[in-house]
Structure 1
Amino acid sequence: MTEAQVALTTTVTTDFDDAVARARAALAGQGFGVLTEIDMRAALNAKLGDGAGDEVGDYLILGACNPGFARKAVHSYPQIGVLLPCNVVVRRAPGAEAVTIDAMNPALMVQVTAEPALTEIATEVGALLQAALDNL
């Protein structure tokens, strides 16, 4: 099996809050909901202090889930839950003008589990995530 790239990626030139809103809308347009949200800057500042989170800049992790595909994946491979939801990262380094949006490549689920039943699901979810990124 060939090594899968870790993330599907795109870059937009806009402010961070607009990029987050656009990412949420693009995900929703492809049938994904956002189940979790982690503000890495805030979390690092709260836990480590001393502006530790400022080093990463704007960095938001969205836990995206398409319920239909999640159901199929769990049915095919019950342990898949440790790899769900699909994380989508919206990030802007300090001083950068562009915002990068990375989506977990679902092909990693197949590579990590070696479960053939996940191949079709990962391909379809990957196409939906790529379409969401393309709509940004």
Structure 2
Amino acid sequence: MHATGYALTRDVDAPFSEVVERIRAALADEGFGVLTLIDVQSTLKEKLDAELEPYVILGACNPHLARRGLELEPDLGVLLPCNVVVRAGNGTTHVAAMEPMAALALADNADLEPLAREARERVARAVAQA
């Protein structure tokens, strides 16, 4: 796994559809449900007639973590859900998840740090299992 300033990423040597199912299952194991699935490839084809490799954005949410965060920072919903990208390209499947520490740091509320750390641990484990 690799971390950037805003994402936790991993390349997986498996077919795109398999990786989508694996990350969904791994997120579920960590208490996240997938609230939304945006098929970017299909949307860009429909709207712009643009060709793109398979690419989806999963909007994942752990309700327990979300509730705790919203209690500390009511406007935190602008940073929810935690987006997870799965995309095909260059013969591999790439998984990238929002870095919770970076996202929650935007709130500038030190009370969110333990929550951000827990979210990061859970997201990192899910990405590692994809």
For residues 103 and 59 of structure 1, the distance between their equivalents in structure 2, rounded to whole angstroms, comes to 13
Q: What residue in structure 2 maps to residue 67 of structure 1? A: 63
What is the rounded CA distance, in whole Å, between the counterparts of 1:45 and 1:99 in structure 2? 20
Summarize the alignment of residues 21-32 of structure 1 with structure 2, pairs less than 5 Å apart: 21-32=21-32
Q: Which runs of 5+ in 1 are unaligned?
A: none
Q: Moved runs in structure 1, 4+ residues, more than 6 A?
A: none
- State percent identity of aligned pairs: 42
Deviation of the 1:20 alpha carbon? 0.4
Q: Which amino acid aligns with 2:68?
A: K
* TM-score, normalisation: structure 1: 0.89
- Looking at structure 1, the residues matched to 104 and 119 of structure 2 have their Cα atoms a distance apart, in angstroms, of 12
**How far apart, in 2, do the equivalents of 1:116 and 1:134 lie?**
27
Gap regions ≥5 residues in structure 2: none
Q: For residue 89 of structure 1, what is the aligned residue in structure 2?
A: 85
3-state SS in 2 of match to 1:61? strand
Number of aligned positions between the proteins: 127
- Per-residue CA deviations over 1:39-67 (Å, capped at 9, x if unaligned) read 00111111112xx1x23x11100000000
Equivalence for 2:124: 130
RMSD: 1.1
Give the Cα–Cα distance (whole angstroms) in 1 for the partners of residues 46 and 76 of structure 2: 31
Aligned residue runs from structure 1 range 110-125, under 5 A: 110-125=104-119
Query: 2:10 touches 2:94 (CA, 8 Å); kept in 1?
Result: yes
Q: Letter of the 1:37 partner, please give it.
A: L
Following the alignment from structure 2 to structure 1, what is the Cα–Cα distance between the partners of residues 103 and 74?
12
Task: Measure the CA separation in 2 of the matches of 1:17 and 1:110.
Answer: 30
TM-score (ref. length: structure 2): 0.93
- After superposition, residues 29-108 of structure 1 pair within 5 angstroms as 29-49=29-49, 52=50, 54-55=51-52, 57-93=53-89, 96-108=90-102
Q: Is the 8 A contact 1:110 1:116 kept in 2?
A: no
